[in-house]
A and B are shown apart, each in its own frame.
Chain A
């Protein structure tokens, strides 16, 4: 039987003991309005989407939580804005209390210019959160050694960056992403740096289990259209990975016999 999709074979992403048919995890930052965000989330087909925790603003109208709950999308709180393990652990505990989930995307940044993740603080926070019963999904650099250590520490996935947050630079070190994928016993989620659909497809072709992106969609001229493109790119990349890429060759190889 000819199979032109993977879905019939049952190709769910299993993360933290839960199954997801979509391998596109969305962020919510950067959208011009909740209406635009909602259209983009629907077009993306996502089933898991991040939110940040901030001081309650009494003047705020509408809530990203209402949008996610209304669409049946699982909420994944993050610790964006934290610079230390202590801040991240407190933020995760507040998110667990506010949102009634023990899942957290652990994000501890080192400085505001690059927003690159701080590996020391991230590892420290991961150990404390795992011990406290959290399902920990840490955002990290494209470092295979750190990814392995975080898996050993009990993280439910590792989330290496392709490039700095919001940069749209794509995957700057595909080789390291492949090394992380090869060695990992937990899902690898490419997080940050995605600029357009081909970047998301490449992440999946490299063997990542899922892609997390926000800016590439929310700041696109047409967020809903880009969300649909990302949805298809993730599926296409996943299929191409399963199908098996042909080897790269230095010279041509005729696809039909050259001799009569």
Chain B
């Protein structure tokens, strides 16, 4: 299935979870937060939250700013 991760199209296997999407970008899980379709998915739910076709996944972290 096709999902968008941080604005880029990705092909993921059916039943892929939020955790798999995060691992497409990084293995470092600390300091990272995820929203799917503008709703926060808490870290503890990454492994158990499946993605659906056309989901928009945002993976954010802290950067210099402000």
Chain A contacts to B: CB under 8 angstroms: 27-31, 34, 37, 50-56, 58, 60, 63-65, 75, 77-78, 80-81, 86, 90-91, 93-99, 105, 107, 214
Contact = CB atoms under 8 A, between A and B. Distances in A.
B40 A56 contact: no
A178 to B, nearest CB: 25
Contact of A54 (B25, B35, B40, B63): B63
CB-CB nearest 6 A-B residue pairs: A52-B65, A98-B33, A97-B33, A50-B66, A51-B62, A78-B66
A34 B34 CA distance: 25
A99 B33 CA distance: 8
Given A63-B31, A93-B40, A98-B33, A29 B60 contact: no
Contacts of A96: 33
Chain B, interface size category, equals 20 to 34
A56 B7 contact: no
Given A52-B63, A52-B65, A55-B58, A94 B7 contact: no
B35 A51 contact: no
A98 B31 contact: yes
A99 B62 contact: yes
Contacts of B40: 90, 93-94, 97
Contacts of A98: 31-33, 60-62
Given A55-B7, A58-B25, A37 B31 contact: no
A75 B62 CA distance: 10
B33 A94 contact: yes
Nearest to B38: A90
B32 A56 contact: yes
B6 A51 contact: no
B31 A28 contact: no
13 contacts: A29-B65, A30-B64, A51-B65, A53-B60, A54-B63, A54-B65, A55-B60, A56-B61, A77-B62, A96-B33, A97-B33, A97-B40, A214-B66
Given A54-B60, A54-B65, A105-B66, 9 more contacts: A34-B64, A51-B64, A52-B64, A53-B60, A56-B25, A56-B61, A63-B31, A86-B38, A95-B33
Contacts of B6: 55-56
A52 B66 contact: yes
A230 to B, nearest CB: 16
